[in-house]
Chain A
Amino acid sequence: AQKVTQAQTEISVVEKEDVTLDCVYETRDTTYYLFWYKQPPSGELVFLIRRNSFDEQNEISGRYSWNFQKSTSSFNFTITASQVVDSAVYFCALRNSNYQLIWGAGTKLIIKP
């Protein structure tokens, strides 16, 4: 079975704090892709990052960083020095061999000024 678990339903932090969103996945595929999307209040899902199963290098993009660990089937997302504009629902997703996206339930991130 393929599954994505985002155990944190909601996280609330004060602006400028660092925050990590957890994502754990299950798959038997040897080749797969993992994604993070952001969904602000406007509703549109915004692509953040794609990572394939053969590339375990961590990635940093500005204040965003991603830690992919196959050994623990995790693909965690960290926002450094959070800002109010980071407030959104964040989804982790797994793409299977049919190019279908299997979604986590999402983590609602609230950044307080």
Chain B
Amino acid sequence: EAGVAQSPRYKIIEKRQSVAFWCNPISGHATLYWYQQILGQGPKLLIQFQNNGVVDDSQLPKDRFSAERLKGVDSTLKIQPAKLEDSAVYLCASSFPTGGSNTEAFFGQGTRLTVV
């Protein structure tokens, strides 16, 4: 079974530029998460989708971050304009709801963003 695919693996941009990350979850997984992980910290949830609907985006800085999952499969996360403090690893994860619960989340390798 293929895992969660993310691209690119690395990205370096200048502040005020825009950047987009792509994620393809495990086939059949209805729930998709985007996390931001700053060096030395645990992952911070940015947005959670259930199919193509947003379950939680309370921690997404909506003035500069946006995310979509139009067909309920793959997803893109965009930052525009980027700030220095956006330098982090952006992790995508997916899970499959089963009955009243959900399986564990499976993570991609992440995109390491450096804003200079």
Q: Which residues from chain A sit less than 8 Å from chain B, CB to CB?
A: 33, 35, 37, 42-47, 50, 52, 91, 93, 95, 98-101, 103-106
Contacts and interface: CB of A to CB of B under 8 A. Distances in A.
Contact of A100 (B48, B104, B109): B48
B42 A105 contact: yes
Nearest to B103: A50
28 contacts: A33-B101, A42-B109, A43-B89, A43-B110, A43-B112, A45-B43, A45-B91, A47-B104, A50-B104, A52-B101, A91-B43, A98-B55, A98-B56, A99-B31, A99-B55, A99-B97, A99-B102, A100-B45, A100-B48, A100-B56, A101-B33, A101-B45, A103-B42, A104-B42, A105-B41, A105-B42, A106-B41, A106-B42
Nearest to B48: A100
B45 A44 contact: no
Nearest to B111: A43
Contacts of B43: 45, 91, 101, 103
B105 interface: yes
Interface string B73-116: 00000000000000001010101010001111111111010000
Given A52-B101, A99-B95, A99-B102, 15 more contacts: A33-B101, A37-B107, A42-B109, A43-B89, A43-B109, A44-B109, A47-B104, A50-B103, A93-B42, A99-B31, A99-B97, A101-B45, A103-B42, A106-B41, A106-B42
A54 to B, nearest CB: 11
Q: Is the interface of B mostly helix, strand, loop or mixed?
A: strand
Interface of B: 31, 33, 41-45, 48, 55-56, 89, 91, 93, 95, 97, 101-110, 112
Contacts of A45: 43, 91, 93, 107
A43 B38 CA distance: 12
Looking at B41, B107, B108, which has the most chain A CB atoms within 10 Å of its CB?
A: B107
B54 to A, nearest CB: 12
